[in-house]
Amino acid sequence: MGLSELEDSLDARLLLFMEQLELLEEKRSTLNSLIEQGWFSMSKARYSMGNKQVSALQYASEIEPLVCVHARTLGSGDVEFCTERVAQSKESGKDVSSIEDIGPQEEGVRRRNKPKNVTPEKEANDEASSEKAPDVTPVRKSDQNPQQDPLKWFGILVPQSLKQAQSSFKQVIELSAEIAALQTTVLNTRQELKKSMKDKHFLRKETSAAQADEAAE
Amino acid sequence: MAGRGKLIAVIGDEDTCTGFLLGGIGELNKNRKPNFLVVEKDTSITEIEETFKSFLARNDIGIILINQFIAEMIRHAIDGHMQSIPAVLEIPSKEHPYDASKDSILRRAKGMYSADDFR
């Protein structure tokens, strides 16, 4: 590649780099605004629900992610990130044949071997209760479902501001994937520019050395 | 598992983590370590750095979100991360707005030009 062609390609790459930086700055600004909006909504929810009602104390003991990101490395070295939201499992379908256990879950050891001197009335009651639901599978309370909407950690009826906060953060997550991809693109373009600069300087030195030789002859 | 996406991890203060967990990125179960760290006043820099490095070592994390003021505490670890995946995104916190001049990525992108380059 000649010097002038290299310089043209360098100019084009530099313009592309500037455009990518400008786009990155715009997306960053949007991201920061959305995050601040989310915090503001959370603060409003905290004001109406109480300070400790919107805090780390409310996190569930088991959580499953509802959104994941797919990363794909392209041939040019750029990485593409795209988010995918997992469809939440609906509880109603599974619970048709099972009875929800409302009381506190007993964590202690259960007495399985009944003593021989149990009264007949008690035995009859036991048999009756076992006949009602022979295949009962105790189901965890709905708030223990790891795939539930995180809004439910904070109560059954949550204020609109908390839903707005969730919506803001969902948008932030989508935008984060775009920014992550753009960051890798910016860094790759920078590397290419650096390499092209070195090539240009090398070519220039060669060209000026050749010109000096010609002048000497 | 083919087709299974990667997680988004977050290292941030309570409000940041609560917000992103509301968004649905959290994972917490007894079999695996959580993909988030709530940084409080008494959280040590060692713990933050170890958590960050553990996220980098995991192959199921695609993006790490970190408050910029926390990133400043472990700047050397963030600057040392050169791979594309996981991507590290610095985000503002309530008390520390985002400063582009501190961002590792933008500093790498900015620090390339000198007067000689434009001759």
For B52-94, the pLDDT digits (tens) are 999 999 999 999 999 999 999 999 999 999 899 999 999 999 9
Interface test with B, best of A36, A67, A174 (most B CBs within 10 A): A67
Q: Does the pLDDT at position A138 exceed 90? A: no
Contact state of B19 with A39 under an 8 Å Cβ cutoff? yes
List the single residue in B with minimal CA-CA distance to A25.
B100
Q: How far is CA B91 from CA A17, A132, A180, B17, B104, in A?
A: 22, 56, 12, 12, 12
Contact between chains at B112 and A194 (C-beta distance less than 8 A): yes
The pLDDT score that the predictor gives to residue A208 is 86
Q: Answer whether B23 sits within 8 Å of A67, measured CB to CB.
A: yes
CB atoms within 10 A of CB A123: 11
DSSP 8-state assignment for residue A148: S
Which of chain B's residues have a Cβ under 8 Å away from the Cβ of A187?
84, 105, 108-109
pLDDT at residue A116, as a whole number: 56
Task: Write down the CATH superfamily of domain B7-109.
Answer: ATPase, V1 complex, subunit F (3.40.50.10580)
User: CA B94: distance to chain centroid?
Assistant: 16
pLDDT in tens, A181-201: 999 999 999 988 888 888 888
pLDDT tens across A7-35, in order?
A: 888 899 999 999 999 999 999 999 999 99
CB contact under 8 A, A146 and B112: no
Q: Per-residue pLDDT averaged across A53-69, rounded?
A: 89
Q: What's residue A92's pLDDT?
A: 43
In DSSP notation, A62-105 reads SB--SEEEEEEE-TTS-EEEEEEEPPPPPSTTTTTTS-B--SPP
Peptide bond into A134 cis (omega under 30): no
* In chain B, where the domains are located: 7-109
Among the residue ranges A117-121, A135-139, B40-44, the one predicted with the least confidence is A135-139
Tokens of residue A180, six digits: 């992550």
CB distance B108–A187 less than 8 Å? yes
Give me B89's structure tokens. Answer: 């995104």
Annotate B58-93 with three-state secondary structure.
Answer: CCCEEEEEEEHHHHHHCHHHHHCCCCCCCEEEEECC
pLDDT at A103: 53
pLDDT for res A161: 94
Global pTM?
0.78
Which one of A15, A21, A35 makes the best mutation probe of the B interface by having the most chain B beta carbons within 10 Å? A35
